[in-house]
Chain A
Amino acid sequence: MKQQAAVIGVGQTRHRARRADVSIAGLCREAVDRAIADAGVGLADIDAVVVGKAPDLFEGVMMPELYLADALGATGKPLLRVHTAGSVGGATALVAASLVQAGVHRRVLAVAFEKQSESNAMWALSITPPFSMPVLAGAGGYFAPHIRAYIRRSGAPEHIGAMVAVKDRRNGSLNPYAHLQQPDITLESVRSSPMLWDPVRYDETCPSSDGACAVVLGDQAAAAAAEAAGRPVAWIRATSMRTEPTMFAGKDHVNPRAGADAAAALWRQAGITDPAGEIDAAEIYVPFSWFEPMWLENLGFAAPGEGWRLTAAGETEIGGSLPVNPSGGVLSSNPIGASGLLRFAEAALQVMGKAGAHQVAGARTALGHAYGGGSQYFSMWVVSSTPG
């Protein structure tokens, strides 16, 4: 049987376009030190380490976890390196959780990072192999046509994307770790920002960040000990992951079945029958603003074609019925490999009551979500302030 597992510590870096003050190891360690301090443990108390990051070509280091073993406190311990494209941060949390749930380890450290300033992600992602068409549209060009398809399918008004951008950036200004700090952003300023990949404007796209996130997971005894010491924990109620191919005949790019299947399995496992009513805060992987309404539908928070209505009504703001990305989300910080783990960690912070100025009042149950590749890798978890 599956053992109980909980988040007992969370740490993250101050995410910036360029963290020129640290090495790759120093960046990771900043998050790790904060996570173990938050958990009230030392590196010696960690049984195993799980590392996640996006393509090695971003930093030009093949399997950097090998060189990072000492920095992560992993030397002499089991270390796993996960890579599932953009969803990797989420997958990293889920692999770490499964090590506890399987009864293999008591305390596991999950670390995810990206130091995008070492290179240029646009370069790494646009290497054109021989015989291939050169990249026609650039980074946002892959997703913009699917957003257009969503707008056509749902009939959503044109300003919804800008509304999401305003909300997430304002939320980000409440989060001291967030890369972009834009408290004064307005609907008008977003709508007057350059149209990059029509229908996607500049202010509706994620930044490129250096950053890391670390989470300490513990078993029932470790979590109970933390609670007894007055440290809140986030109990993992359900986990889910699904994959489908990048391209195939019949793929629904707007509402991918892998995401919908993963969500259905997640809610079933958590015993949640009304996600919109039972989830108090959702950290959803939204790299382009329009993915908020798309994923609200894919996750089952709204019927197909209806997700934008939640955004339009302000329900996804802090204070709304379903706050989405109170941390500011990927639109405010995007250290690619860490972005998924940040979603999972921020969900945990909400139910631990430790989200500071972006805390959703009374949050008891929260969703962490990540996706990657061509909308094909999905990972998610539900965490709660109480077990089971």
Chain B
Amino acid sequence: MTDVAVVGFAQAPCVRRSDSTTSGVEMLVPIFAEVLASTGLAKGDIGFWCSGSSDYLAGRAFSFVQAVDAIGAFPPIMESHVEMDGAWALYEAWVKIRTGDADVALAYGFGKSSAGDLRRVLALQLDPYLLAPLWPDSVSIAALQARLGIDAGLWSEKEMAEVAARSRAAAVSNPRAQVSGEISAEELGTRPYIAEPLRAHDCAPVGDGAAVVILASAERAPGLCARPAWITGFEHRIDSGSLGARDLTTAPSAVAAGRAAGAGAVDVAELHAPFTHQEILLREALGLAGSVRVNPSGGALCGNPMFAAGLARIGEAARQIMTGRAGRALGHATGGPALQQNLVCVLEAR
């Protein structure tokens, strides 16, 4: 099986409310152009395309169909779609290159979270018989998880505020971030609860965006990128959908994916943690040492376009390697309520 590397990444600005349609075309056209220009590739060079998005986020069936307009898919392309974050589209693209069916593949994810009421839309991810009829919203579910960890002594509101403060400060240097700024954890800790024990800074902002990553085989990567980010481990797992039966203070799927992917010794990690306590949970689950730089981009707490933010984490991790700022990096993506599904991609320079 060939080795595979990330050779390009681009991301649309994370914004509260985009002028784009829910098919994402307007957000995708510029970043396709950007990532192709950065690699010197033409559309015809892409052997496999794969996207991630959600019909319920858009509020209509087959919402992903029109996104291929942004590609200009004639002559026809080899293409697929996952109803998941674009990080899983990247995984499918990685598999495709390993089969030998393609040597360059492009994965993208897009989401216009602002189109609906995200807290209510995500309630439809819950058990349709026992939970969804109560419409428990996504922020409340995260809050139940946060309190379990606080009660168990695994994290505190102060540590959660510190995650938010560090993330916002890091995002100052990220032009694509939706939220950024220097603010102290102490000051954040004085603000009101929105879903006790969560305050506004504990929750990712609702916003729109898109991301794209290009992968290439061992043969092609060196010609497309001066410093490709080679994938050394790519794993994902899912936990039970039974929310009340899971131990919500950890994520077995993240532990297992991290272990299988070789998550341990990395310089930097981009974690898809839409809530502050989830970053702390994930650091523990993935066995990240205190010295690991976490979310130099600001992470999902500073821009969380649904179905694109996980892919963007892998793109940001790869960028750390492609720009020479790290030798070994980890990108993580999550899906489902309370970190039900987790994906880990470990990348390195050679």
Contact = CB atoms under 8 A, between A and B. Distances in A.
Interface residues of A, number: 62
Contact of B92 (A95, A129, A243): A95
B14 to A, nearest CB: 22
B132 to A, nearest CB: 7
A114 to B, nearest CB: 12
Interface in A369-386: 373-374, 376-377
Interface in A212-261: 241-246, 248, 250-251, 257-258, 261
Given A62-B124, A66-B336, A80-B88, A127 B76 contact: no
Interface stretch (A69-77, A190-198, A348-356): A69-77
Nearest to B130: A67
A257 B74 contact: yes
Interface string A52-82: 0011111111111011111000111111111
A243 B129 contact: no
B125 A66 contact: yes
A382 to B, nearest CB: 15
Given A57-B60, A62-B54, A373-B62, A81 B241 contact: no
B231 to A, nearest CB: 12
Interface stretch (B96-104, B178-186, B265-273, B296-304): B96-104
B242 to A, nearest CB: 7
B55 A75 contact: no
Given A2-B100, A99-B95, A76 B253 contact: yes
A168 to B, nearest CB: 26
Interface string B31-67: 0000000000000000001000011100011101110
Contacts, number: 175
Contact of A102 (B1, B54, B66, B241): B1
Contacts of A91: 80-81
A80 B82 contact: yes
A27 interface: no
B84 A55 contact: no
A81 B82 CA distance: 6
B217 to A, nearest CB: 12
Given A63-B54, A85-B62, A77 B75 contact: no
28 contacts: A24-B128, A56-B54, A61-B125, A66-B337, A70-B241, A75-B239, A79-B237, A81-B88, A82-B80, A83-B81, A83-B83, A98-B92, A102-B96, A103-B98, A125-B61, A241-B80, A242-B76, A243-B76, A243-B77, A244-B74, A244-B76, A245-B66, A245-B68, A245-B73, A245-B74, A250-B74, A257-B74, A374-B65
Given A56-B83, A67-B127, A81-B83, 17 more contacts: A56-B55, A60-B128, A63-B83, A63-B125, A77-B237, A82-B81, A83-B55, A85-B62, A95-B80, A95-B95, A103-B98, A127-B60, A243-B79, A244-B68, A244-B73, A245-B68, A257-B76
Interface of A: 1-2, 23-24, 54-64, 66-70, 74-85, 91, 94-95, 98-99, 101-104, 124-125, 127, 129, 241-246, 248, 250-251, 257-258, 261-262, 373-374, 376-377
Interface of B: 1, 49, 54-56, 60-62, 64-66, 68-69, 73-84, 88, 91-92, 95-96, 98-101, 121-122, 124-129, 132, 235-242, 252-253, 256, 335-337, 340-341
